[in-house]
């Protein structure tokens, strides 16, 4: 999050932001390039992606790539012109359709292709883009996207890419918009034959090539958003295991650097199966049994690459050995293993159509850390973890970003978003119903792209609660609700301040010296309740599980 703030605050925010493997910006002015990237224009909606074959050779010495991507699609309407995306520092060599080259023009990072005749609605068709060049190299991966060229401790090449937010079109031709996930993809990556390459899905074959390269062919049989498509190149050790999950046997594949395998195996064994057990309990079956689960050591902190989760936490507990919750409970698990794997449900199974709604990915996944803590350490520990992460909330800009311009909202989508979900859990006041809502989200929106409205409406309908003001308050403003109160005689007067109009969220407060909580229903106008005359202001406290502030009215 590159905001103009003081150096000391910047250092703190940099630490808390990089923990989430995400490039977040508060940009408020937008350009034609932003619109081309973020808008669902007719040139994008005219075709629905069915299948990609990405075939790329990676030249490590020259830090370059070359290859092709075949687009298989179904026309959603009659069209002649369509748009795909590729960063303009990469060369489009040709676009081939039915054996002939098609004319195209480029505008910023968008490429517009003109077909020789009308492609009719409903037709299944394909074209292939050939390209080459030197991709952008990331400065601070993964929150600043691009390629990573580095070496392991033995001096072997170690190469990967992280491009969430930055864009998959930074390294391969694609429709770079989350709303249209390809149904399946064949990923063919050619690398020097003395190295190994790992990508999403399952390995179909390897093919030796005459120029000293080897091609690895990985097939993803489930829908996948394009920033998740990835590769890892290095000298790897590989071992397998099986998890007996809700949908049967789930294959587990582990890929660590050969130099780190002795340390990696016991470390990963400690978290992965308990994590899968917890998340299947709370969220439902792992969404990608066909493609399996892989954990791959990466030359960056981490990323939720579907079925090939990137890991770079140095085999430490917490976040690089530190507790982001400041509660002690964050040191009971490896943050990257748990957080990035949680995205298999929220982010990869359920994907936001527009990145302005990325809270759907990050708020639930951040809360998954607390749910894992609850599964392993108990409910009180989980509550302490959620309350602890509030220290990382900045309340700088709203969580929801600007639509149609490829704009994410505040990094508060992590910690504040998790606290919103925790607050809603208190309002539901039934943990089994809450769990069924989380499982229902993953079942109802299985392998789908969604909007904020769909998620909000589902939770409201299934909970039976009126939650529109709650969502508006926490997602669309930077205001934290303040429960203002004063005591006069045997009456406690209370109301909500620092809120949107009509905010009326119930809350639990302590009105006796026993510490028991009572539900009250404040509004933005004063209300009152009779209390014991012995009650003083010091006794009036809100349940800390609600993300609010309490202030005596002067």
Structural domain includes residue 254 = yes
Structural domain includes residue 2 = no
CATH code for the domain of 356: 1.10.390.10
Mean pLDDT of 370-398: 98
Do 489 and 383 lie in one domain? The reply is: no
Do 468 and 493 lie in one domain? The reply is: no
Q: Which of 431, 458, 476 is the last residue of a domain?
A: 476
Of 2-16, 63-77, 376-390, 427-441, which gets the smallest average pLDDT? 2-16
The DSSP symbol for 346 reads B
- Decide the pairing of beta strands 110-119 and 124-133: unpaired
Count of Cβ atoms closer than 10 Å to residue 114 Cβ: 12
Do 395 and 350 lie in one domain? The reply is: yes
User: Which residues touch 404 (CB under 8 Å, ≥6 apart)?
Assistant: 35, 38, 39, 40, 354
Say how far apart CA 429 and CA 425 lie, in whole Å: 6
Do 366 and 254 lie in one domain? The reply is: no
Do 77 and 124 lie in one domain? The reply is: yes
Do 142 and 196 lie in one domain? The reply is: yes
pLDDT tens-digit map of 30-74:
999 999 999 999 999 999 999 999 999 999 999 999 999 999 999
Do 86 and 209 lie in one domain? The reply is: yes
Structural domain includes residue 459 = yes
Contact (Cβ atoms closer than 8 angstroms) between residue 307 and residue 168:
no
Contacts for 110-114 with beta carbons within 8 Å, 24 or more apart?
Answer: 110/36, 110/37, 110/83, 110/84, 110/85, 111/83, 111/84, 111/85, 111/86, 111/173, 112/43, 112/81, 112/82, 112/83, 113/81, 113/82, 113/83, 113/84, 114/80, 114/81
Average of per-residue pLDDT values in the chain: 94
Structural domain includes residue 183 = yes
| pLDDT bucket at 490, cuts 50 / 70 / 90 | confident
Do 382 and 489 lie in one domain? The reply is: no
% of the chain exceeding 90 in pLDDT = 89
Do 459 and 494 lie in one domain? The reply is: no
Do 81 and 181 lie in one domain? The reply is: yes
Structural domain includes residue 37 = no
Do 471 and 499 lie in one domain? The reply is: no
Contact (Cβ atoms closer than 8 angstroms) between residue 317 and residue 268:
no
User: Which domain, by its residues, includes 542?
Assistant: 482-552
| Total domains in the fold of the chain | 3
pLDDT tens-digit map of 100-126:
999 999 999 999 999 999 999 999 999
Do 117 and 236 lie in one domain? The reply is: yes
Structural domain includes residue 16 = no
Give yes or no for residue 28 having a pLDDT over 90.
no
Q: Which of 476, 500, 533 is the last residue of a domain?
A: 476
Structural domain includes residue 38 = no
pLDDT tens-digit map of 270-297:
999 999 999 999 999 999 999 999 999 9
Residue with tokens 């925790």: 422
Structural domain includes residue 324 = no
């Amino acid at each position: 999050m590159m905001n103009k703030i003081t150096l000391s605050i910047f250092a703190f925010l940099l630490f808390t932001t990089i923990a989430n493997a995400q490039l977040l910006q508060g940009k408020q002015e937008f350009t034609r390039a932003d619109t081309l990237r973020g808008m669902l224009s007719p040139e994008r909606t005219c075709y629905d992606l069915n299948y990609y074959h990405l075939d790329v050779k990676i030249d490590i010495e020259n830090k370059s790539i070359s290859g092709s991507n075949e687009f298989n699609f179904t026309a959603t309407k009659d069209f002649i012109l369509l748009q795909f995306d590729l960063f303009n520092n990469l060369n489009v060599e040709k676009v081939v359709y039915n054996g002939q080259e098609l004319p195209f023009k480029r505008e910023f990072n968008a490429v517009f292709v003109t077909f020789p005749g009308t492609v009719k609605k409903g037709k299944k068709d394909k074209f292939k883009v050939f390209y080459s060049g030197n991709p952008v190299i990331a400065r601070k991966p993964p929150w600043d996207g691009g390629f990573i060229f580095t070496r392991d401790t033995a001096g072997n090449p170690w190469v990967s890419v992280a491009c969430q937010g930055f864009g998959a079109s930074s390294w391969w031709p694609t429709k770079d918009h989350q709303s249209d996930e390809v149904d399946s993809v064949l990923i063919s990556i050619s690398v020097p034959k003395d190295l190994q390459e790992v990508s999403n899905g399952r390995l179909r074959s390897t093919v030796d090539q005459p120029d000293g390269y080897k091609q690895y062919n990985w097939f993803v049989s489930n829908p996948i958003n394009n920033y998740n498509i990835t590769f890892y190149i290095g000298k790897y050790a590989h071992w397998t295991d099986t998890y007996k999950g809700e949908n049967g046997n789930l294959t587990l594949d582990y890929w660590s650097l050969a130099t780190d395998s002795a340390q990696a195996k016991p470390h990963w064994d400690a978290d992965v199966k308990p994590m899968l057990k917890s998340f299947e309990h709370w969220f439902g079956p792992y969404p990608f049994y066909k493609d399996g689960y892989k954990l791959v050591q990466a030359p960056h902190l981490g990323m939720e690459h579907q079925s090939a989760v990137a890991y770079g936490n140095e085999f430490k507990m917490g976040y690089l050995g530190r507790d982001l919750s400041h509660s002690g409970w964050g040191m009971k698990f490896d943050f990257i293993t748990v957080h990035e794997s949680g995205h298999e449900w929220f982010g990869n199974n359920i994907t936001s159509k527009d990145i302005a709604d990325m809270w759907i990915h990050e708020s639930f996944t951040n809360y998954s850390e607390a749910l894992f803590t609850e599964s392993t350490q108990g409910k009180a520990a989980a509550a302490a973890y959620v309350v602890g992460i509030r220290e990382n909330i900045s309340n700088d800009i709203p969580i929801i970003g600007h639509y149609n311009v490829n704009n994410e909202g505040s990094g508060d989508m992590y910690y504040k978003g998790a606290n919103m979900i925790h607050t809603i859990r208190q309002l539901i006041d039934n943990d089994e119903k809450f769990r069924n809502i989380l499982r229902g989200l993953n079942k109802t929106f299985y392998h789908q792209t969604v909007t904020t409205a769909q998620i909000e409406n589902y939770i409201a309908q299934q909970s039976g609660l009126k939650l529109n003001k709650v969502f508006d308050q926490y997602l669309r403003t930077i205001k934290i609700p303040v429960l203002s109160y004063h005591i006069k005689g045997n009456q406690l007067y209370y109301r909500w301040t620092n809120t949107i109009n009509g905010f009326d969220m119930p809350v639990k407060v302590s009105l006796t010296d026993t510490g028991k909580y009572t539900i009250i229903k404040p509004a933005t106008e004063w209300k009152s309740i009779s209390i014991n005359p012995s009650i003083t202001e010091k006794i009036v406290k809100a349940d800390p599980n609600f993300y609010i502030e309490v202030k005596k009215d002067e």
